[in-house]
A and B are shown apart, each in its own frame.
Chain A
């Protein structure tokens, strides 16, 4: 038995060392930096909370997550329900929906830019059709609202497939007997959806929401490329503090704040959205 345990630990050791070196050490260093102020441990946090850009970044991060995640969830459920009917040609739709999964956020941002730029596809089409005489500006400090929606649209297009794939897997694991029984009892489609499918889909929805929300709080590439600091976000400010202002302490503080927010959200998802049904809950 002891020998078995030793072998088990030895097999785990490389992974543990890797985690300690590349996750544990940076994590501890980041916390140490964040709490190393000149006069007290909270100096850096005081500076952060006094900085207007932090509150703006927090606002936009919450706004983006609040707008993008629900839309993605609704779209993903709708697509999953459609694909799950296995109509003729459903595999083609599945592949088309999944294409953005292969794209990085940088690629997605650049594609968006070519569409929405003053000389981009959309403006060219509108001007050639005579609908507009001058380009419509979607980017720039004077058009923050439009920038926001372009970013939201780009993220929705890019990341919905991830949610869709998780929801579809959950949908396909629902026992068909429930739905057959519902048919026998004369349930309408809406009743089946709200009384059977969605409750049984709760564990998948929770997983998808958890993953998607955590990523939404780390949103960076699309925002940075399309809007720079016109739309500040927490991860973008972390990058700006470290790379442009050469301030690793403030960058670490931002990192700690992002970590705390994502921990709180994970707790909320794990403990309040738990499914109580046999299929998915405790």
Chain B
């Protein structure tokens, strides 16, 4: 009996010292990090497994995993990153095959994107997207032929041309700039450029950068900019401009407009983005949980993944951060109110028949240069009036060179076009 008690005591002590190092590129803003830490401490209380959260940048997580794998001293147990980053890690052979991790009580959405070379390289954890938010007051100024339902459900009438007519109408009748985008350096404007409007007009993010259709797109953007609030270039996120009533229609990441919806859910409507000539380009941000090869404490890691993908935690993340559940069972747990408003917009966007799903490419250390190039194209063509043909030719070469140098795979939808 004594021996048994000693063994149990040793096991309990060992468990209490068991630690999982969890590196995440997501939930880095202080409020989001604080929320994640609170969830992890609940996990620790339940299981006795300590979790240390490390927020790392996209390039830093690659460097850290690479360093640990090359030295053989693997400390990181769990990684949360965008699917592009995880594909890059997997391509270098740094991730474990997680096919043996089974969670029979839940159905994972978008699981087909969790595989590379026949191996399951991550467990889908969260998804996010970028949507349009419309102040319901704006519906008073809809152009002829476009209805509120067309906009809400993303019908074929909800096009970029219709958007242009709509904002022109609003400006004529109210004298206000109606449209806002997060164009500040810290904003996600570059995602709109490469993941939304580019695929909508050209069918691709990268390979048609300097095509004739791209030139049409740039001409369209020049026209649209006349109705974009000039202070957009100083906005990192759109929740506050929406709440202040500075714009009536905005585009941004769901996490960055969430506050506006939560503050006054009856005032706003989350809608799919418009469609262009080639379809309705939109980004799905898929965050996965991956395990580096030879990571320690595998049982603890599996328990942590299990916890993070429970419907309750998934809905809590939606409430506090704005990332959407990846587990089907969580849908029924979303309460009425602001979250339902958000969820409806996101679901309506995913349900559109003409959707062109884009993934954010992972170019490792060149990721910043990739997004900077799209911003540079916008600045030079739209804001400085440079010749679009010259600019897209020059920058198209630059982007193709980036993919060649890093050996990164083309993202969706480009890779499907080959």
- Does B407 touch A at the CB level, under 8 Å? no
Q: Which residues of A contact B365 (CB under 8 A)?
A: 246
Most buried by A among B229, B366, B368: B368
Q: Which residues of A contact B230 (CB under 8 A)?
A: 137, 139-143
**Is A140 touching B233 in the complex (CB atoms < 8 A)?**
yes
Closest residue of A by beta carbon distance from B363: A246
**Is B233 touching A141 in the complex (CB atoms < 8 A)?**
yes
Closest residue of B by beta carbon distance from A229: B185
**Is B234 touching A228 in the complex (CB atoms < 8 A)?**
yes
- Does B48 touch A at the CB level, under 8 Å? no
Q: Which residues of B contact A244 (CB under 8 A)?
A: 185-186, 368, 371-372
Q: What CA separation (Å) do A225 and B231 show in the bound complex? A: 12
Interface 0/1 of A35-55, CB less than 8 Å to B: 000000000000000000000
Interface residues of B in 147-164 (CB under 8 A from A): none
Interface 0/1 of B53-80, CB less than 8 Å to A: 0000101000000000000000000000
Q: What CA separation (Å) do A118 and B233 show in the bound complex? A: 14
A239 to chain B, nearest CB (A): 8
- Does A8 touch B at the CB level, under 8 Å? no
Most buried by B among A117, A227, A240, A245: A245
B227 to chain A, nearest CB (A): 12
Q: Which residues of A contact B59 (CB under 8 A)?
A: 246
Partner of B369 from A119, A137, A226, A247 at Cβ < 8 Å: A247
Closest residue of B by beta carbon distance from A240: B185
A132 to chain B, nearest CB (A): 12
Q: Which residues of B contact A139 (CB under 8 A)?
A: 230-231, 233-234
Interface 0/1 of B235-276, CB less than 8 Å to A: 000000000111000000000000000000000000000000
Q: What CA separation (Å) do A49 and B76 show in the bound complex? A: 42
Most buried by A among B175, B231, B368: B231
A197 to chain B, nearest CB (A): 43
Most buried by B among A133, A139, A143, A228: A228
B175 to chain A, nearest CB (A): 5
**Is B383 touching A141 in the complex (CB atoms < 8 A)?**
yes
Partner of B185 from A117, A118, A142, A228 at Cβ < 8 Å: A228
**Is A140 touching B229 in the complex (CB atoms < 8 A)?**
yes
**Is A246 touching B368 in the complex (CB atoms < 8 A)?**
yes
- Does A198 touch B at the CB level, under 8 Å? no
Q: What CA separation (Å) do A225 and B371 show in the bound complex? A: 21
**Is A118 touching B369 in the complex (CB atoms < 8 A)?**
no
Closest residue of A by beta carbon distance from B229: A140
B336 to chain A, nearest CB (A): 31
B197 to chain A, nearest CB (A): 18
**Is A119 touching B368 in the complex (CB atoms < 8 A)?**
no
Q: Which residues of A contact B57 (CB under 8 A)?
A: 246
**Is A245 touching B231 in the complex (CB atoms < 8 A)?**
no
A126 to chain B, nearest CB (A): 15
Q: What CA separation (Å) do A226 and B372 show in the bound complex? A: 21
Q: Which residues of A contact B372 (CB under 8 A)?
A: 244-245
**Is A140 touching B246 in the complex (CB atoms < 8 A)?**
no
Q: What CA separation (Å) do A22 and B255 show in the bound complex? A: 37
**Is A228 touching B368 in the complex (CB atoms < 8 A)?**
no
Q: Which residues of B contact A133 (CB under 8 A)?
A: 175
Interface 0/1 of A196-231, CB less than 8 Å to B: 000000000000000000000000000011111110
- Does B367 touch A at the CB level, under 8 Å? yes
Q: What CA separation (Å) do A186 and B176 show in the bound complex? A: 63
Q: List 27 A-B contacts (CB under 8 A).
A: A117-B231, A119-B244, A119-B246, A134-B175, A139-B231, A139-B233, A139-B234, A140-B230, A140-B233, A140-B234, A141-B183, A141-B233, A225-B234, A226-B234, A227-B233, A227-B234, A228-B183, A228-B234, A229-B233, A230-B233, A230-B234, A244-B371, A246-B59, A246-B367, A246-B369, A247-B368, A247-B369
Chain A positions within 8 Å of B, measured between CB atoms, are 117-119, 133-134, 137, 139-143, 224-230, 240, 244-247
Chain B positions within 8 Å of A, measured between CB atoms, are 57, 59, 175-176, 183-186, 229-234, 244-246, 365-369, 371-372, 383
Which 5 residue pairs of A and B lie closest in terms of their CB atoms, listed nearest first?
A140-B230, A246-B368, A245-B368, A141-B233, A142-B230
Other than the given A118-B231, A142-B230, 16 more pairs (CB < 8 A) read A118-B246, A119-B244, A140-B232, A140-B233, A140-B234, A141-B230, A141-B232, A141-B233, A228-B234, A229-B233, A244-B185, A244-B371, A245-B369, A246-B366, A246-B369, A247-B368
